[in-house]
Amino acid sequence: MASKLLRAVVLGPPGSGKGTVCERIARSFGLQHLSSGQFLRESLGGGGEAGAVAQQYLQRGLLVPDHVITRVMLAELEKRREQHWLLDGFPRTLGQARALDGICQLDLVISLNIPFETLKDRLSARWVHPASGRVYNMDFNPPQSQGVDDLTGEPLVQREDDRPEAVAARLRKYKDAAKPVIELYKSRGILHSFSGTETNKIWPYVYSLLSSRIPPLLSEEEH
């Protein structure tokens, strides 16, 4: 008999390490990692409506309207009805959480709590490989050769919204929007919070939590 499909969410402010921890979870447990920010960035060049609307918000570090991101994410989830998945960056508002409730029942929500002071430094040191979404940090997780992706050798770029003005706006907006979402999942008993500035330190706890729900493909050290 097929095991129940896992529906998980990772919440956390910009720069808290959602993308980093989701990549590890996805590799270790064979889940689909679905990043709302990544979908939006991919839609920018496509000439569609979502891309055109999103561009104005992303550049300024603002949240895109609920109906825009909800349409994008529900369409992506619809394509993955038969897969285990892990959402990164969605839902970010109560309206989005309610829309998600309409299509599934979440099993697990991971919330990353990182001091706000740490976040600004991290974001300015972040470089990404646009085609794959792989994330590097010049201090914590640098590429093997400076400025290029480890797997493809293609150039790394800095995200527009990692500029200092946009970062400050993103951090301000996050708190107000996220609070009711965190409260909602806490009240359902599915919220698991992890505090600390090091992904490597919280990883054993995250790994053991996920292992209690789904069999791992890789050992804790292999990620």
Residues labelled catalytic? 18, 92, 126, 159, 170
What are the structure tokens assigned to 117, written together?
Answer: 């002071």
- Residue 74 contact partner, candidates ligand AP5, Mg ion, none, CB within 5 to 8 A by sort of partner: none
CA distance 105 to 127: 34
Query: ∠ CA(153), CA(155), CA(161), 5° rounding?
Result: 140
CA dihedral 97, 175, 90, 18 (to 10 degrees): -140
62: phi then psi, degrees, rounded to nearest 5:
-100, 155
The DSSP-derived string for 16-64 is SSHHHHHHHHHHHHT-EEEEHHHHHHHHHTT-SHHHHHHHHHHHHTPPP
CB of residue 19 to Mg ion, shortest distance in Å: 3
Q: According to the binding rule CB under 6 A, does residue 57 interact with ligand AP5?
A: yes
Q: Near Mg ion by CB under 5 A, which window of 13-21, 73-81, 94-102, 185-193?
A: 13-21
Number of residues that bind ligand AP5 (CB under 6 A): 36
Closest to ligand AP5 by CB, 2 or 86: 86
The reply to whether omega before 130 is within 30° of 0 (cis) is no
CB of residue 95 to ligand AP5, shortest distance in Å: 9
Contact track, ligand AP5, 138-157, x by CB under 6 A: --xx----------------
Short-list 35, 34, 89, 31, CA closest to 223: 31
**Type of residue numbered 223:** H
Q: According to the binding rule CB under 6 A, does residue 87 interact with ligand AP5?
A: no
CA distance 190 to 81: 21
How many of the other CB atoms lie within 10 Å of CB of 40? 22
Site for Mg ion in 19-58 (CB under 5 A): 19
Q: Near ligand AP5 by CB under 6 A, which window of 42-50, 121-129, 149-157, 179-187?
A: 121-129
Closest to ligand AP5 by CB, 6 or 70: 70
Q: According to the binding rule CB under 6 A, does residue 223 interact with ligand AP5?
A: no
Contact track, ligand AP5, 160-199, x by CB under 6 A: -x--------x--------------------------xxx
Q: Can you give the binding site for ligand AP5, defined by CB under 6 A?
A: 12, 14-20, 35-37, 40, 57-58, 61-64, 69, 89-90, 92, 96, 122-123, 125-126, 135, 137, 140-141, 161, 170, 197-199
